[in-house]
Amino acid sequence: RSGFVAIVGRPNVGKSTLMNYMVGQKVAITADKPQTTRNRIHGVVTHEGNQIIFMDTPGIHKPKHRLGEHMVKVAVQTLREVEAVLFLVDATMPKGAGDEYIIEILKNVKDTPIYLVINKIDLIEKEKLLEIITSYKDEFPFAEIIPISAVAGDNVERLRDLLLNLL
C-alpha cells in the first residue's frame, strides 16, 4: 500500500523536522523541481512494505495578488486528492493569524481527513497543551488531535502508524 500525505503549517512549526524524523529516504526527483510545480515531494516513509509519500503544498500562504489566489485554489485541489492532511502547529506559540488563515483554507477541503498535530510538546507544560487543544478543537472538525515532539520523537511512531492505517 502507498499514499500521499500533505503537511501544512506556518513557517517554523517543525514541518521539515517531522519529515526528517519519519523519512528514511529523500526523493531525488524533487531536487530539480522548484516551487512552481503543483506540489513538492519531500520524502517517503517506508514501513513493512508500505509507503507514505509526504508532500508540501506551496500555495498555502497569504495571497498578495491574483497568482496567490490561484495558488490557493491549486493547494485546495491538492489537499482534496491526498489520503490525509497534517496541520502542524507550534505548541509554544498562541494560535495566530497564520494558523487562522490555514484553517480557512482547510474548510474548503472536503473528504480528506485532517489531523491537527501539535508539535514541540517537549517545551511546554501539560496545562498549556490543554489550552492549545481547546483553542483549536472548536474551529474545525479535525479527524484527531495528536501532540508530538518532532525533535524528541514523542508520539511520532503513533502518528506514522495512524497514517499507514489510512492507506
Candidates 6, 13, 55, 163; binder of ligand GDP (CB under 6 A) is: 13
Alpha-carbon span 65 to 63, nearest angstrom = 6
Q: How many CB atoms lie within 10 A of CB 34?
A: 9
Interface mask toward ligand GDP for 89-128; x: CB under 6 A: ------------------------------xx-xx-----
Place of cell 493569524: 97
- Contact window for Mg ion (CB under 5 A) among 12-20, 59-67, 75-83, 146-154: 12-20
CB-count burial class (<10 Å; 0-12, 13-18, 19+) for 29: exposed
- Contact window for ligand GDP (CB under 6 A) among 61-69, 75-83, 139-147, 148-156: 148-156
Alpha-carbon span 137 to 147, nearest angstrom = 13
Alpha-carbon span 26 to 43, nearest angstrom = 5
Alpha-carbon span 19 to 109, nearest angstrom = 22
Q: How far is the CB of 49 from ligand GDP (least distance, A)?
A: 28
Q: Which three cell numbers stand for residue 21?
A: 524524523
Site for Mg ion, residues 23 to 52, rule: CB under 5 A: none
Residue set of the binding site for GTP: 9-16, 56-60, 119-122
Please identify, using beta-carbon distances, which residue of 94 and 141 lies nearer to ligand GDP. 94
Q: Does 2 bind Mg ion (CB under 5 A)?
A: no
Q: Do residues 5 and 164 make contact, with C-beta atoms less than 8 angstroms apart?
A: no
Q: Which residues bind ligand GDP (CB under 6 A)?
A: 9, 11-17, 119-120, 122-123, 149-151
Residues interacting with Mg ion, by CB under 5 A? Answer: 15-16
